[in-house]
Amino acid sequence: SYACQRLDRDYPEWANRYVEVRRQSGDTSTERTNQTLSQTRQNAKTFTEQVRTFRELEDEYEEAKAAGDSQRARELAHRLVEQSREINRTGSRTTSNYDAFSNETTGNLSTASDTVVEIADDTAATASAIRDAELVATTLSIEATEADGSFASPIAVEGQLMSENGTPVSDREVTFGVGNGTVATETDAEGRFSFEYRPTSELVGSSDWNVTYIPAGASLYSGSSDQISVEVTGVEGTVTVTNRPSNVKFNDTLTVSGSVEAAGRGVGDVPVVVSLGGTRLGTVRTNETGGYSFDASVPGDVTTG
The pTM (predicted TM-score) of the whole model is 0.75
Distances (CA, A) of 129 to 74, 133, 212, 242, 273: 13, 6, 20, 54, 44
Q: What is the pLDDT of residue 193?
A: 98
Q: What is the pLDDT of residue 104?
A: 61
Measured distance CA(92)–CA(117) in Å, rounded: 8
Longest dimension (CA), the chain: 72
Q: What is the pLDDT of residue 32?
A: 64
Give pLDDT < 70 ranges for the chain. Answer: 1-34, 36, 101-109
Q: What is the pLDDT of residue 3?
A: 45
Q: What is the pLDDT of residue 14?
A: 43
Q: What is the pLDDT of residue 86?
A: 95
Residue from 136, 141, 203, 189 nearest 163 by CA: 136
Beta strands in 37-137 (DSSP E): none
Q: What is the pLDDT of residue 122?
A: 96
Q: What is the pLDDT of residue 106?
A: 57
Convert the pLDDT of each residue in 113-149 to its tens digit: 889 999 999 999 999 999 999 999 999 999 999 999 9
Convert the pLDDT of each residue in 208-231 to its tens digit: 999 999 998 889 999 999 999 999
